Structure 1
């Protein structure tokens, strides 16, 4: 299969690219700030706003992974970036867009969003509230086959590489181990996955196309 990864130089994008290559897929990487090389990946430096170039790079892909991160200084631009990628995928007639969205808008076991918990300092809360609002772009897209995939609350480093995970819905995936209090609000202790295993889950979804116009949370 042919996959395009937007944000290929990032922590998750680079890991997903390596995993996809290891499975024998063709990978085209796109990044506005392309850094270094990834073995087996054809990397192009391109800004998301370069519409025609993006469409040309996406043409013929079986799926696109959107692994871009929001700019800390300008979080309000994130929604526009998402809309660009959606429109570019539609113009390129890409069968599937899989987008990574953060856990801040995911639901906790009590039904509230993680952003509403005590883990966010005020400055960070404002940033992530902007991100949550930007992610609403997906809710209005009815034509494209899109899916959103969300990691657990805490991305472990140094990271275990287990090549396993569990999938949920809009709720954070809480670890299912003896002694874990699933009603605890210590979400960063009980909702975990490594960067590599999350990237592994992303490539599984690129291959299998199970998430349709909805969000799916992933964790151990």
Structure 2
């Protein structure tokens, strides 16, 4: 398949890029900084050097799947919603490309059926970055209103960290815990889950979650 990855130089984007290449897909990383992109993905990486908000339909129409691994600073967290809206607007009333959004854990429910983002707000020092999970939750709420675009979302567990891949454990609406009793997902495990879903689609216009 032809796969484009927005934010390919970031933690999640890099892992998805590497997993897709390893599986033999035709992958293009979309990055703002070519030097950083090649440093992260390799000198021979296929790149489209362009800001995500400058992307046009003609840049993306040839792909089967577009993975949105966009990340931003807390003071610009609203851009998560804005970019989702832009991508959806480009591909209204289409079935291809499939839009694959990497979301946050804040929109998941804990064992008391309480939004995890409410727990995140109580973490000491969270005021400095809480806007990111809050806006990722808003991003999912926006996507849930979209019924004429081929989209899917995925959320990691409570801790999303760079790391090697493991066999993914999948869920839908609630936080998962790994075998060690903790809630975590590595970037490698996330990449495996994303590529598995791309190759064998099972989720349509909905969100799932993945754990180590």
TM-score (normalised: structure 1): 0.83
Query: Residue 200 and residue 61 in structure 1: after superposition, are their counterparts in 2 closer, same or farther (change >3 A)?
Result: same
From 107, 130, 134, give the equivalent of 1:125: 130
CA shift for structure 1 position 96: 1.2
Residue equivalent to 2:98: 96
Q: CA deviation at 1:99?
A: 0.5
CA distance in 2, matches of 1:78, 1:156: 19
C-alpha deviation, 1:95, in angstroms: 3.6
1:215 is the counterpart of 2:199:
no
Give me the whole-angstrom Cα distance separating, in 2, the residues matched to 1:26 and 1:135.
28
Runs of 5+ in structure 2 lacking a partner?
none
| TM-score, normalised with respect to structure 2 | 0.86
With 75-84 and 165-174 compared, the bigger mean Cα shift is at 75-84
Partner of 1:143: 148
SS of alignment partner, residue 33 of structure 2: coil
Question: Is it true that 1:161 corresponds to 2:165 in the alignment?
Answer: yes
Inter-partner Cα distance in structure 2 for 1:129 and 1:161: 27
Going from structure 1 to structure 2, the CA distance change for 1:7 and 1:215 (only over 3 Å counts) comes to same
Would the aligned equivalents of 1:51 and 1:88 in 2 still touch at CA under 8 Å? Answer: no
> In structure 1, what is the equivalent of residue 74 of structure 2?
72
Could you tell me whether the CA contact under 8 Å between 2:170 and 2:210 is conserved in 1?
yes
Does the 8 Å CA contact 2:103/2:153 hold for their aligned counterparts?
yes
Q: Which runs of 5+ in 1 are unaligned?
A: 181-189
Deviation at 1:126, TM superposition (A): 4.3
Question: How many residues are paired up?
Answer: 205
Shift of 1:176: 4.3
Task: State the distance in 1 between where 2:99 and 2:69 align.
Answer: 11
- Aligned position for 2:52: 48
Q: 2: distance between equivalents of 1:74 and 1:64? A: 22
CA change 1:195–1:123 in 2 (3 A) is same
